[in-house]
Structure 1
Amino acid sequence: MHLQGVSDEIMCRAFPTILKGIARVWFSKIPPNIVSSLEELSKLFVNNFIGGQRHKRSLSSLLTIEQGQNESLRSFITHFNREVMTVDKMDDKMLLAAFHNGVNFDLVIHKLYEQEPQTMAELIHLAQSFMNVKDVIIAKKRKKAK
């Protein structure tokens, strides 16, 4: 629209057509005739939604994640991965160290040091294999109990 030389007034009127969800609700609550330029509308928009942005955490914050006493490995991996998504810059070596630091299953720790995964993908694959074996063992125990 800027390239076509469209006026601020038309751009302000076109602005709500691109909004969805909460942004559209916010826009509909702006009192009429309060905005006189596209610049004012832009400032209102940014000021309203900038507080809703999630700030990325540092990679070292992952070192505080620990597997709970009764938390399953599967649950811990889900929790760990959710936290990884909040980190700004990821480094596989640091992620591996944080996972090693947080996991509490002795057999998993043993496997991690035995196999020494070099990437998070390798570590997750190894953990998945461990969980699959554990599931088979549990299923066999249930079958024997019946």
Structure 2
Amino acid sequence: MELQCDFLQGIPVPPHPSQAKERTPSLEHSENHSNANNARRKGKEVQGNSKRQGSQMTKVEQALNDKVLELQDQIQEVMRGKNLAPSHDFHFTTDLAFTDEIKAEPLPKGFKMPAIEQYASKTDPEDHLETFKSLMFFQGASDAIMCRAFPSTLKGAARQWLSRLKPRSLTNFVGLGWAFPAHFMSSRVNKKTMANLLAVKQRPDKSIRNFFTRFNKEALEVRNLDQIVKFQALRNGIRDVELKRSLIMDEPANIYELFSRCEKHINLAKVIAAE
């Protein structure tokens, strides 16, 4: 019996069922309390993260909203400017007066628009037209190219005039060359005529060189001057006795020989005067 008691003393005695039942709720309560605290802490963390994310999303949405409003304001400004802008008829252009064949004519390779002062209806239209024609002739431009290039040499009232011509009414540059100076006739400078040139005479107190200077100036202002008329006017205007006698004794064959004889006489007079 003593040995059995000693052996039993070495074995731990299990708790009484009633005592186990008493300790179990306490442990469960402690565990439940810890779990609840963890849950509340996680809940606060999630709630804090949600607030921060919500705050960030609110800022992004606000920025986007501001950008949209800014774009709407810009669109409204553009629309207001469009409504206030003057209306233009874009079919009202200077090339409508020309035929389709002229408008379809391609520019030649290497063509360059010559530098010419734009015409605004205040100066002589014939001077502008002749200057343009001479520059186009130098480039070897065709009739159609001259028609296409001419509008760019106009401005102001002159450009408006060309724009208002009947569509497809101009078939070549000849027609334009007649219509243009005719419309701006009031701006034309009165040209000298052949009668004006025939009236130029050498004055008694003026040298033959002075007469030549006046004669050439008048001749340049006579449009379509005939060379025969020019020859007769120059010969008849000379009053220098020696030169006139020379021309009568040996009549020059043409205007160029007449000029040459007059130049020789002028040089001879200078030499004699110098001696």
- Shorter-chain TM range is 0.5 to 0.7
The partner residue of 1:99 within 199, 218, 234 is: 234
For residue 10 of structure 1, report the CA deviation from its aligned partner.
8.0
Amino acid at match of 2:163: L
| In 1, Cα distance between equivalents of 2:186 and 2:118 | 17
> Using a 3 Å threshold, how does the CA distance of structure 1 residues 58 and 20 change in structure 2: closer, same or farther?
closer
The partner residue of 2:269 within 125, 134, 142 is: 134
**Contact 2:202 2:238 survives alignment (8 Å):** yes
**TM-score, length of structure 1 as denominator length:** 0.62
For residue 106 of structure 1, report the CA deviation from its aligned partner.
0.2
**Contact 2:122 2:187 survives alignment (8 Å):** no
Within 5 Å, give how 1:33-48 maps onto structure 2: 38-39=163-164
| In 1, Cα distance between equivalents of 2:218 and 2:226 | 14
For residue 109 of structure 1, report the CA deviation from its aligned partner.
0.3
Pair 1:8 & 2:99 matched:
no
Fraction of identical pairs, as percent: 24
| In 1, Cα distance between equivalents of 2:219 and 2:94 | 43
Superposed CA RMSD: 3.7
Pair 1:84 & 2:219 matched:
yes
| In 2, Cα distance between equivalents of 1:48 and 1:91 | 27
| In 1, Cα distance between equivalents of 2:190 and 2:266 | 33
Q: Which runs of 4+ in 1 moved over 6 A?
A: 45-48
For residue 49 of structure 1, report the CA deviation from its aligned partner.
4.1
Amino acid at match of 2:244: I
| Structure 1: gaps (5+ residues) | 1-5, 12-17, 141-146
Partner of 1:143: none
Give the structure, 1 or 2, with the largest relative contact order (CA under 8 Å, sep 6 or more): 1
Find the residue that maps to 2:164 and give its secondary structure: helix
| In 2, Cα distance between equivalents of 1:57 and 1:10 | 33
CA offset digits 1:69-123 (Å, max 9, x no partner): 2111111111111112222333333222222221110011011112211221111
Partner of 2:117: 20
**Contact 1:59 1:89 survives alignment (8 Å):** no
**TM-score, length of structure 2 as denominator length:** 0.36
Q: How many corresponding residue pairs?
A: 122
| Structure 2: gaps (5+ residues) | 1-89, 96-114, 124-154, 166-179
For residue 7 of structure 1, report the CA deviation from its aligned partner.
3.2
Find the residue that maps to 1:68 and give its secondary structure: coil
> Using a 3 Å threshold, how does the CA distance of structure 1 residues 8 and 60 change in structure 2: closer, same or farther?
same
